[in-house]
Amino acid sequence: MDGEKVSQQLETVGSPIIADPLITVRDCNVFYGDTHAIRNVTLDIGRNEVISLIGPSGCGKSTFLRCLNRMNDTIDSARVTGEICLDKQDIYDRKVDPVLLRARVGMVFQKPNPFPKSIYENVAYGPRIHGLARSRAELDDIVFSSLDRAGLYGEVKNRMDEPGTALSGGQQQRLCIARTIAVNPEVILMDEPCSALDPIATAKIEDLMEELSENFSIAIVTHSMQQAARVSQRTAYFHLGYLVEVGDTKTVFTNPLHRLTEDYVTGRIG
Amino acid sequence: MTMPDGTSRKTFIRTGAQTRELVEASLGARRRRELRFRLYGILAIFASVAFVVFFGYTIVKAGYPAFSQTFIQLEIGFDPAVVDPDGKRERQSLAGANYKKLVTESLLAIFPEVTDRRAKRALNGLVSSGVVYELRDMVLADPDLIGTSRKIWLPVDDEIDSYFKAASGAAQDAAAGRFKSEELEWIKRLQSQGLLELRFNRIFFTAGDSRDPEMAGILAAAKGSFFMLLVTMLLAFPAGVAAAIYLEEFAPKNRWIDLIEVNINNLAAVPSIIFGLLGLAFFINFLEMPRSAPLVGGLVLALMTLPTIIIASRSAIKAVPPSIRDAALGLGASRVQTVTHHVLPLALPGMLTGAILGMARALGETAPLLMIGMVAFVVDIPQTPLDPSTALPVQIYLWADSPERAFVERTSAAIIVLMLFLLLMNAAAVWLRNRFERRW
């Protein structure tokens, strides 16, 4: 069996390129100062698909995720090369305003980070700055339906004016998801959204992701291989900045092509 | 065993009992050290509290007599022949009338036996020389007083005030020693007739500076300080906050910005008199702004306070968790929106605290004001930031320099007023912080 595995090469094996992608990444490199964090990554993300990015700590999967909505712009020393397109438009093009890009590509962070404002204001903030609601009633509709889609409405409907920070960790994370979908993005990036949550809250968010994938593309970074297996259709394995293997989640976990992937999913490294 | 770097070491494992024994042996020393450390802390706190109490006690003890003043009740007859000899009630002639004569006459009514000129002059000296202005102002405010007679409480001379306040014993004997025997006789007679009385010293709070302690007040200095702080706050706070926001949120990280940062930190430590020199050279000599004006004082203090506010504001901005910025940026807020909607509201309490503490320091500043002429003797109450004025700490300095005994208590009283100002500002800082502080 060992003989069949690719073990040395660090070029991506599997199927990074797919038909009719929403996001295409070609030869992406990221540098933090002199550190080469992402090396020659080529990857497509399809429409309405959930793709998990897995790999040991420091392998660059979060960095890669943050390239997709240009959150790396906020880090002074970060430099991105290569081509990343959303709907065939290069997002690092001079003409692209990161503000519009981030309205189209939303993000949920590792630690729940609601604004220190009321629950209502947390969700209403995005639609408000982008001018998505023409009236107060419309804004109410957006806020309540977003909370509902995030599975939080029932729990908070009587406490809209309470601070978002007063919710439990799992509720806060769902509030952050509601806040993200209130802007109605095309893609949602999730950076280890469940790592600070207990299993019950995690299960709720995983259910939520399944529902959300009907309307959005989701890229999720996770340390939990069970989670990746449960929620995603495709899985990408990163190792030391290289994208080692991409494929159907089932294949990656049961019959990986690359030796490093096998070592990781069977628990020998990472 | 073999270490990762290839060297070999003896495997070192103790039993549980051995470990416990060793830890127990070290416990006593650790506890003693902890107790000793706590004791030092308590001693330090105790020493500082003791100093504060001692300081407060001496200042209040020396200063509180200044809040009352001895007044003499005189029956003043506003004789038309003296006040308004022409009978036209013209302002100018009313203002120039001989009010001293009115006082002398009413005093002579109490002491009819005094006849010779020298004694009359001594008698006049019982009452503050400033009362003529008080009588003049009364007449100017209400000319119908002319021709009537009123019982009026007027401030006495500062020496008599000291004597009257020193209730008994050695202090009173010492105060009495400064009078001639006939003067002492008069005072005692006035006292027994109940014509002398300690009353609230409104003059201290309503007048400007004066050569006569009993006519001197701090209003001019307090208003000067107020105008100055107003100018300082209006200039330094917005400029400081804007600079801090730019440096923290927008500035590129390069050598120029580092240089600016280092210089801001250095400016915070520059002796304040240097800022006074700068104010003199730039605002007064170059821009030809008026001397002794609170506007210039405020400008100088704004320059002095600016680095403090920038530093405080920057640390307040740094304390805002980056996750809040990520959240806003991730939703598509622009950088300016992120700052104004999220970072600034969260940082504002810290910025305000820093600004108010900076202002409190500016309020107590004397040295730079000496350089721009705010050390002047100012009798008139300033009405605008352009009028010549002095400031509270400068007034304290001026009074502390005066030879008159009664200025001692007024100096301390002015210190009390300054301290109250400072306490008020610090209380405002605490209140603002609690009012706007949010948890995240």
Taking an 8 Å cut-off on Cβ atoms, the answer to whether B332 and A103 are in contact is: yes
Task: Give domain status of residue B35, yes or no.
Answer: no
**Looking at CA atoms only, how far is residue A162 from chain B in angstroms?**
13
A172–chain B nearest CA distance, Å: 12
**B252 shares a domain with B110:** no
Summarize pLDDT for B96-116 with one digit per residue, the tens.
888 888 888 888 888 888 888
Q: Are residues B145 and B225 in the same domain?
A: no
Give me the long-range contacts of B278-286 (CB less than 8 A, separation at least 24): B278/B303, B279/B303, B279/B368, B279/B371, B279/B372, B280/B371, B280/B372, B283/B372, B284/B372, B284/B373
Assigned domain for B371 exists: yes
Domain boundary pick from B146, B173, B200? B200
| pLDDT tens per residue across span B328-357 | 999 989 999 999 999 998 998 889 888 988
Tens digit of each residue's pLDDT (9 = 90 or more) over B150-169 = 888 988 888 888 888 876 66
d(CA B387, CA B390): 10
**Using the beta-carbon criterion (under 8 Å), do A115 and B327 form an inter-chain contact?**
yes
Q: What is the pLDDT of residue B5?
A: 77
Q: Residue A115: which of B252, B324, B332 has the nearest Cβ?
A: B324
CA distance B122 to B87: 32
pLDDT in tens, A155-209: 898 999 999 988 988 899 999 999 999 999 999 999 998 888 888 888 888 988 8
Give the predicted TM-score (pTM) of the model.
0.81
- Any B CB within 8 A of A166 CB: no
Residues B425 and B375 in one domain: yes
Structure tokens belonging to residue B397: 């300095």
Is 80 exceeded by the pLDDT of residue B437? no
Would you say residue B326 lies in a domain?
yes
Sign of CA dihedral B150, B153, B159, B160: positive
Q: Which residues pair with A80 in a beta bridge?
A: A30
B39 burial class (0-12, 13-18, 19+ CB within 10 angstroms)?
exposed
Please say if the pLDDT value at position B123 is more than 90: no
Does any domain span residue B310? Answer: yes
> Is the pLDDT at B33 greater than 60, yes or no?
yes
Same domain (yes/no): B245, B342: yes
Tell me: pLDDT of B50 over 90.
Answer: yes
Q: Are residues B293 and B427 in the same domain?
A: yes
Q: What's the confidence (pLDDT) of residue A2?
A: 45
| Residues B332, A71: C-beta atoms closer than 8 Å | no
The CATH number for B321's domain is 1.10.3720.10
B376/B248 same-domain check: yes
pLDDT, residue A102, reads 92
In a domain, B84, yes or no: yes
Whether chain B has a CB inside 8 Å of the CB on A144: the answer is no
Q: How would you write the pLDDT of chain A (270 residues) with one tens digit per residue? A: 444 667 667 778 888 888 888 999 999 999 998 889 888 899 999 998 999 999 988 888 899 999 999 988 888 888 899 999 998 889 998 888 889 999 999 999 999 999 999 999 999 999 999 998 889 999 999 999 999 888 888 889 899 999 998 898 889 999 999 999 999 999 999 999 888 888 888 888 898 888 888 888 999 999 888 899 999 999 999 988 899 999 999 988 988 888 888 888 888 765
B194 dihedral zone (left: phi>0; alpha: psi -120 to 50; beta):
left
Our count of domains for chain B comes to: 2
CA–CA min distance A174, chain B (Å): 14
CA B30-B33-B36 angle, 5° bins? 150
| B313 membership: H or E segment, kind and range | helix B294-318
CA angle B264, B265, B266 (to 5 degrees): 90
Q: Across all residues in chain B, what is the average pLDDT?
A: 88
CA distance A166 to A262: 42
The shortest C-alpha distance from B253 to chain A (Å) reads: 7
CA distance to partner chain A, nearest, from residue B337 (Å): 8
Residues B274 and B388 both lie in one domain? yes
Q: What mean pLDDT is predicted for residues B406-417?
A: 91
Same domain? For B276 and B193 the reply is no
Minimum distance, in Å, between the CA of residue B268 and any CA atom of chain A: 28
Give me the percent of chain B exceeding a pLDDT of 90: 38
> Containing domain of residue B268, as a range?
219-436
B329 interaction partners in chain A (CB closer than 8 Å): 71, 74, 102
Residue entry with tokens 């004006």 = B293
- Chain B residues close to A129, C-beta within 8 Å: 331-333, 337, 341
Q: Hey, are the CB atoms on A183 and B331 less than 8 Å from each other?
A: yes
Which of B324, B331, B346 to probe by mutation at the A interface, max A CB count within 10 Å?
B331
Both B184 and B229 in one domain: the answer is no
Cα–Cα distance, B302 to B388 (Å, whole number): 19
- Cα distance from A254 to chain B (closest Cα, Å)? 35
* A125–chain B Cβ distance below 8 A for any pair: yes
Nearest to A99 among B252, B327, B332 (CB): B332
A69 at the B interface (CB within 8 A)? yes
- With vertex at residue A176, the alpha carbon angle to CA A174 and CA A182, rounded to the nearest 5 degrees, is 100
B247 touches chain A (CB under 8 A): no
User: Domains in chain A, start-ordered, CATH in brackets?
Assistant: 2-265 (3.40.50.300)
Give the pLDDT score at B227.
93
The residue whose two tokens read 């509270």 is B392
Farthest CA pair distance, chain A: 65
pLDDT digits (tens, 9 = 90+) for B170-221: 667 777 777 777 888 888 888 888 888 888 988 899 888 888 888 889 999 9
Which residues on B lie below 8 Å from A179 (Cβ)?
A: 327, 331
Considering CB atoms only, which of B252, B330, B439 is closest to A102? B330
Domain assignment present for B386: yes
In-domain check, residue B405: yes
Nearest residue, CB atoms, B330 vs list A71, A116, A130:
A71
pLDDT for the residue A51:
94
CA nearest to B438 within chain A: A116
The partner residue sitting opposite A109, judged by closest CB among B252, B326, B332, is: B326
Q: State whether residue B419 sits within 8 Å of chain A by CB.
A: no
Among B166, B200, B234, residue at a domain's last position = B200
Q: Write the burial class of residue A57 (CB in 10 Å: 0-12 exposed, 13-18 middle, 19+ buried).
A: exposed
Q: Are residues B186 and B228 in the same domain?
A: no
In a domain, B364, yes or no: yes
Q: B252 vs A114: CB contact, 8 Å cut-off?
A: no
- ipTM score for this prediction: 0.88
Residues B339 and B390 in one domain: yes
Q: Please report residues of A whose CB lies closer than 8 A to that of B440.
A: 116, 165
How far apart are the C-alpha atoms of B204 and A118, rounded to whole Å? 52
- The helix (run of H) or strand (run of E) holding residue A148 is helix A136-149
A143 touches chain B (CB under 8 A): no
**Candidate from A99, A106, A107 with C-beta closest to B334:** A99
Chain B partners of A176 at a C-beta cutoff of 8 Å? Answer: 327
A/B interface, count of CB pairs below 8 Å = 65
Q: Which residue of B has its CA nearest to A100?
A: B332
Q: Does B337 lie in the same domain as B291?
A: yes
Measure in Å the smallest separation between the Cα of B347 and chain A Cα atoms.
12
